[in-house]
Structure 1
Amino acid sequence: MPKRPLYIIGAGSQSKVLLSMIQECGKECSGIFDDDEKLFGSTLWGVPVRGRISDMPDKEETEAVIAIGDNNTRVEISGRFRNVSWSLLVHPRTCIHSSVEMGEGSAIFPGTIIHAESVIGRHVIINSAAVLGYGTRIGD
């Protein structure tokens, strides 16, 4: 079975952090989409910037993550795509209790500790070395 393409939306500093994590998780990024025309045709660590965000295929076999720091923008962009499979990225060097619920499109960076019965919503970014206590709720 062929691997689904994994894309990043956004080509700023957050995309570099996510691209690094994707690679550390043993995955491969197929491309980046961003609305800055000056970036079209360029590469980030060998990964091509393929075009506008709206150019990303809106298909079930498309896997993506949004690399934009602004919460409202992430929600707005995710609403544009009805069929995309939003990737949940969890760095292998985290400590997350088995009862934690994590939403699609979220990114959990290295060193993070999440205690029991916490809930992480959709498209949430938990930065490195964060500690979320028992029953914490973020997003949605």
Structure 2
Amino acid sequence: MSEGKHLPLVIIGGGGHASVLVDMLRQQQRRILAVISPDLIDRGEVFGEIKQLTSDEDIHQFGCDDIRLVNGLGMLPGQNLRRKVGEKFRELGYRFETVISSKAIVSPFATLAEGVQVMPGTVVQAGSQIGQHSIINSGVIVEHDSQIGDWNHIAPGVTLCGHVSTGDDVFIGAGATVTQMVCIGSGAIVGAGTTLTEELAAHHICYPAKNTQQEIKPKVTL
């Protein structure tokens, strides 16, 4: 966990992923000062009476050393909004909280970097290393000595067997299984339900039906 784990928190984003994080943090009796979201927040009682701010510039009312941020933006395949927003606030001097659900099992011999989020029902075994700002979503199993890069999203129900390694910006879809010793390159996508048994090159996608791989072609902006 980060050294400022007892500081009050500000949540970036007010959507579904943010609501799960707020629920987790409320159960841990963490103090949440505000949620920054330009959109209307309508999540029942989860956000309660937490103050809503509507502009990123509102962060300046909080000193960098007085709070920790929680990145409440989710991540979809091929989307980098979460990373862009996180890097913007880091450039302003703010740091991010490492959030671990009370209902997760994380070995004391695992290493979690700043901004990592570990959701309920997840198991992270000894020797594993989770890179900065990665989401380890609900019910994930990260077996021993796995190395997860920065800005990954490991979706619900994924199983990573021992000694799996991933680069940065990797998305592994719900229910996928990655067998032991497999390496996944940066920017790669593993489709939901896939069983990946061999190396996946950077910026490639693996589909579940026939375990076929295909290069991800960059989008052209006119």
Shorter-chain TM-score range? 0.7 to 0.9
How far does the alpha carbon of each residue in 1:18-48 deviate from its partner, in whole angstroms, 9 at most, with x for none?
1001111220211100133x55xxx932212
Structure 1 vs Structure 2 CA RMSD: 2.0
Aligned residues with identical type, % of pairs:
25
Ranges in structure 1 where 5+ consecutive residues have no aligned partner: none
Determine which structure has greater relative contact order: mean sequence separation of CA pairs < 8 Å that are 6+ residues apart, divided by chain length: 1
Please say which of residues 51-60 and 21-30 is displaced more in the overlay: 51-60
Q: Secondary structure at the match of 1:64?
A: strand
What TM-score results when the alignment is normalised by the length of structure 2? 0.55
Aligned to 1:102: 112
Count of aligned pairs between the two proteins: 134
Ranges in structure 2 where 5+ consecutive residues have no aligned partner: 1-5, 151-222
The AA in structure 1 aligned to 2:110 is V
Determine which of 115, 129, 132 is the counterpart of 2:125.
Answer: 115
Moved over 4 A (4+): none
* Distance across 2 between alignment mates of 1:61 and 1:28: 12
1:35 is the counterpart of 2:45: no
Q: Secondary structure at the match of 1:59?
A: coil
Checking the alignment, whether the CA contact within 8 Å between 1:7 and 1:30 is kept in structure 2 is: yes
Q: Secondary structure at the match of 2:86?
A: helix
Determine which of 60, 65, 69 is the counterpart of 1:60.
Answer: 65
Larger Rg: 2
Checking the alignment, whether the CA contact within 8 Å between 2:129 and 2:146 is kept in structure 1 is: yes
Query: Structure 1 or 2: larger helix share?
Result: 1
Aligned to 1:23: 26
The AA in structure 1 aligned to 2:94 is V
Checking the alignment, whether the CA contact within 8 Å between 1:74 and 1:123 is kept in structure 2 is: no
What TM-score results when the alignment is normalised by the length of structure 1? 0.84
Aligned to 1:12: 15
Aligned to 2:85: 77
Offset, 1:8: 0.4
